[in-house]
Amino acid sequence: MTQQYEFHPLADKFRPLEGAEFDELVDDIKANGLREEIVLHDGMILDGRNRYRACRAAGVEPRYRNFEGNDPAAFVISVNIRRRHLTDQEKREALAQLVAAHPEKSDRAIAKEAGVSHTHVANVRKEAEATGIVLPVEERVGADKKKRKQPKRPTKAQKAERAERRRTRKTEIARNRERAIMAQLPDDIYDLLDEAGDAADEFRGHTVRVWEARAEEVVNHVEAEALARACVSAWTRLADGIRKKGSPVGNDVDPQASAEAMKAAHAQAKRASPAPVAKKRGRPPGSKNKKKAA
């Protein structure tokens, strides 16, 4: 090789190719030659360190070209994001550096340079802004070179305030719903529920629990029947209280009668509606396509 070059500091920010992957690159250059030129800037290698090293190892004379852009840092970052040997985390860090270098560029413009999706750039930008790597800007320049104002993002205090308002609203809705339900139930609903529950416990205590604990004991069927009837009576009083409190509007007091009334209403409407007129088949009156005589 006729000339040796040093690596540019911008290129040294990224991990070089090593191990089996570097050996594969050397073998490929030996077999096929150098396919992509090495980029120089300020007399140093800006992009192509791995290709340069592989050419030296393979004994192949590399080809060079000078960098023609205006932003060597953005160029190095954008080309290294596509490198296969970099981990996903290293690529995210490189993309964050690219966004930090040009925060005024839109997500789509940066995505076009880096060869990734704009949603991926947006996620990386959001993480970088949260950690302070990237500063938010009021305007961004899109791929069409037009400036667009960015909506102001809420602060942590504003987000907390909105979340608190949502929680308060949900709590108020739940309370109003509970009040609406309670307004339709008897005023002594809890007393009736306690009475019915006590009656059921007394019945279970005299029958099921006794039978399970001591199967040899003779059950007093008369008392068990009385407790069962008391339990039924308690639940009946609860049902009567709900029926008296409930409004007939929107509720069927007597489902059978309501069904019969609905059937009668439908029959009445059916009798009142005019019978459908049967359509005559054939050509409409005045049609020029008259049937020819046989």
Per-residue pLDDT reduced to its tens digit, 262-277 = 778 777 777 776 666 6
User: Is residue 76 situated within a structural domain?
Assistant: yes
Whole-angstrom Cα distance, residue 47 to residue 38? 6
Contacts of residue 10, Cβ cutoff 8 Å, sequence gap at least 6? 46, 72, 73, 76
58 vs 148: which has the higher pLDDT: 58
Is the domain of 236 the same as that of 176? no
User: Is residue 258 situated within a structural domain?
Assistant: no
Q: Given this model, what pLDDT does residue 121 score?
A: 83
Percentage of the chain lying above the pLDDT 70 cut: 75
User: Is residue 172 situated within a structural domain?
Assistant: yes
User: Is residue 219 situated within a structural domain?
Assistant: yes
Q: Given this model, what pLDDT does residue 249 score?
A: 47
Q: Given this model, what pLDDT does residue 10 score?
A: 81
Q: Given this model, what pLDDT does residue 141 score?
A: 65
Is the domain of 120 the same as that of 75? yes
64 vs 293: which has the higher pLDDT: 64
Is the domain of 192 the same as that of 70? no
Is the domain of 102 the same as that of 232? no
User: Is residue 271 situated within a structural domain?
Assistant: no
* Residue 82 clears pLDDT 60, i.e. is over it: yes
Which stretch, 107-111, 191-195, 250-254, has highest mean pLDDT? Answer: 191-195
Q: Given this model, what pLDDT does residue 250 score?
A: 47
User: Is residue 289 situated within a structural domain?
Assistant: no
User: Is residue 267 situated within a structural domain?
Assistant: no
* Residue 149 clears pLDDT 50, i.e. is over it: yes
252 vs 32: which has the higher pLDDT: 32
Is the domain of 113 the same as that of 39? yes
Whether residue 52 contacts residue 12, with contact meaning beta carbons closer than 8 Å, is answered with no
User: Is residue 268 situated within a structural domain?
Assistant: no
Is the pTM value of this prediction over 0.85? no
Per-residue pLDDT reduced to its tens digit, 202-246 = 887 777 666 666 655 666 778 778 888 888 888 888 888 888 876
Residue type, 85: H
Would strands 147-149 and 139-141 be described as parallel, antiparallel, or unpaired? antiparallel
- How many domains does the chain fold into? 3
Which of the listed residues 247, 264, 285 is the one where a domain comes to its end?
247
Percentage of the chain lying above the pLDDT 90 cut: 5
Its domain, for residue 218, covers 184-247
Per-residue confidence at 167, pLDDT binned at 50, 70, 90? very high
Among 75-79, 134-138, 233-237, whose mean pLDDT is lowest?
134-138
Average pLDDT of every residue of the chain: 78
